[in-house]
Amino acid sequence: MILIVIAAIVASDIAKHHMAGSPAVGIGGCTIVLLAVARVRWDLKGAWWFWVALCLGAVLQLPLIFLMPWAAPTLTGIGAMAFVIPGFLMALGCVFLAEKIFVNSTRPK
């Protein structure tokens, strides 16, 4: 998990120099975060609500993507942690909440 976060920081820092302030850097970070959340809770992959929760986590990250000042010269890979950590927590929270709501309907008796 830590390696995924480090990869997100490095990829964000490298991409920032080549994208010239494009929100595509944020979209890449969002994708890495969603992959990390899916990896953490991969045991739930058979449940339809898991995928819906991941999509909801992606939608909740859209304001972070479009409000982040990607063109700011002071925003480095470490500065992108302000995006990666809340995005990870929001997506994982969506999966956790969906699990709490739907676990009784999917648990075998």
Tens-place pLDDT, residues 45-55: 999 999 999 99
Given a cut of 60, is residue 109 above it in pLDDT? no
Alpha helices in 23-75 (DSSP H): 24-40, 48-60, 62-67
Q: pTM for this structure?
A: 0.75
> Can you give the residue ranges of every domain in the chain?
2-106
pLDDT given for residue 27 in this prediction: 79
Tens-place pLDDT, residues 30-89: 888 888 899 999 999 999 999 999 999 999 988 888 887 777 777 666 666 677 788 889
Residue at 102: amino acid letter: F
Given a cut of 90, is residue 18 above it in pLDDT? no
